[in-house]
């Protein structure tokens, strides 16, 4: 068993992981962001995923000093893996982390066991061994499989979801040799109470993670396309889905905006790798195209709804409820609610955003700036269009008072499936839903 753990990257993935390991082994959490480390030392998690008491009462060592890696026995990399503007893998942070590890291994004390370096960042099959490993070799002068060992164990928790956590979700693990895989499995088994699943090799583990999000992206894309079709047919899609759900093998998904740094990003890692092998991933890319088209579809629909009510879109006041990329998180990275705001701003008189989790933050999209407003119920302002874009738990009571914010003949659009017949002041017949 490794004598200590060092986690590189203290974001949504790294911080909970480091805290969990710190309850079992001496653990150091490293991040290049000094402000982030300073906040954590004070007990504050800007992502609101971890309570202050959990941070301050832990045995976790927090640092921005890369030398903590030199003598680490079990190194876990949890840096982001986004995509570029043209939807290619952006491996810059993975590259930087690997370079740092390699340079620090040059300073490793003699006589220590060979370190195991495990990557958790979502990437394409082959990246750990064919991209990261060679960088560490180049920087350290060591050889993979001799001077250091590689492993891969994808993060697969659901942020903002208290049910599916690091402790309750089975951990997929792998290593470049069977013995390394066993050590990785044992080490993660200390914190993954649901158990581990040992993949036969690193590439398999990498592939398993990326297809989890590819599958979800495609399933939502199917339901988004169905919702668009049924809207043209003047059929309520939720009624169709409810009827179809009575069959045992029908799997229902909620149509809506697909944002964030996982589901709309990860498919491009797989399609990139596939293209290098000469394969055109038609289905996967088609699903991405459908989901990316939703903000434009909703904005166009909003215009037609207002015109049908006799309201001129050019002078209409719009309120978007929710700016985060999904329910109950404070993260606005790649939020399609922001993209929707930009699309609406092109068509409508004014667009405002309210998100109780990220008040006071100004966001920008393609040159258009949107400030988070204070609770609109306190302002007395009326809106011609209200769009429920994110189903934050705090909105459950809020939506029952939407009529207080709505102008005469105003329109409510629900993109989240929150409204059901008889549960709100405005019945389903008064609310446009996907």
Burial of 141 (0-12, 13-18, 19+ CB in 10 A): exposed
Radius of gyration from C-alpha coordinates of the chain: 24
Structure tokens at 216: 């979800």
Catalytic positions, written as ranges: 262
Distance CA 187, CA 200 (A): 17
18-24, long-range: CB within 8 Å, 24+ apart, which pairs?
18/60, 19/50, 19/54, 19/55, 19/58, 19/60, 20/166, 20/167, 20/191, 21/76, 21/190, 21/191, 22/58, 22/59, 22/60, 23/58, 23/59, 23/191, 24/190, 24/191
DSSP class of residue 132 equals: I
Cβ contact 116:183 at 8 Å: yes
Structure tokens at 230: 């049924």
Cβ contact 70:108 at 8 Å: yes
């Amino acid at each position: 068993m490794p004598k200590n753990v060092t986690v590189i990257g203290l974001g949504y993935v790294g911080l909970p992981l480091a805290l969990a390991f710190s309850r079992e082994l001496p653990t150091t959490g490293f991040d290049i962001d000094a402000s982030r480390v300073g906040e954590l030392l004070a007990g504050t998690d800007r992502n609101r995923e971890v309570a202050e008491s959990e941070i301050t009462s832990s045995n976790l060592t927090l640092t921005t000093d890369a030398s903590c890696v030199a003598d680490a026995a079990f190194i876990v990399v949890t840096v982001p893996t986004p995509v570029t503007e043209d939807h290619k893998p952006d491996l810059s942070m993975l590259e930087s982390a690997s370079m740092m590890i390699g340079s620090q291994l040059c300073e490793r004390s003699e006589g220590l066991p060979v370190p195991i370096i495990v990557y958790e960042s979502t990437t394409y099959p082959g990246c750990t061994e064919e991209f990261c490993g060679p960088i560490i070799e180049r920087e350290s002068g060591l050889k993979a499989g001799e001077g250091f060992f590689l492993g891969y164990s994808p993060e697969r928790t659901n942020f903002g979801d208290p049910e599916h956590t690091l402790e309750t979700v089975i951990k997929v693990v792998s290593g470049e040799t069977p013995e390394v895989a066993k050590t990785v499995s044992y080490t993660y088994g200390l914190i993954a109470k649901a158990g581990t699943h040992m993949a036969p090799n690193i590439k398999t583990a990498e592939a398993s993670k990326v297809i989890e999000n590819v599958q979800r992206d495609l399933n939502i894309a199917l339901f988004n396309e169905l919702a668009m079709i049924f809207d043209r047919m003047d059929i309520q899609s939720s009624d169709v889905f409810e009827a179809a759900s009575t069959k045992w093998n029908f799997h229902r998904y909620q149509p809506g905006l697909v944002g964030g740094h996982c589901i709309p990003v990860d498919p491009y890692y797989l399609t990139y790798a596939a293209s290098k092998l000469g394969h055109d991933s038609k289905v996967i890319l088609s699903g991405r195209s459908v989901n990316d088209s939703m903000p434009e579809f909703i904005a166009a629909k909003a215009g037609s709804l207002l015109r049908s009510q006799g309201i001129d879109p050019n002078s209409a006041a719009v309120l978007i409820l929710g700016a985060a990329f999904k329910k109950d998180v404070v993260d606005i990275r790649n939020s399609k609610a922001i993209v929707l705001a930009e699309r609406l701003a092109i068509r409508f008189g004014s667009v405002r955003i309210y998100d109780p989790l990220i008040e006071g933050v100004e966001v920008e999209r393609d040159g258009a700036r949107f400030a988070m407003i204070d609770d609109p119920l306190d302002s007395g302002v009326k809106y011609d269009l209200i769009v429920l874009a994110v189903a934050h738990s705090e909105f459950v009571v809020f939506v029952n008072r939407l009529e207080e914010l709505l102008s005469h003949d105003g329109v409510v659009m629900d993109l989240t499936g929150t409204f059901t017949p008889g549960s709100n002041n405005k019945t389903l017949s008064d609310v446009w839903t996907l």
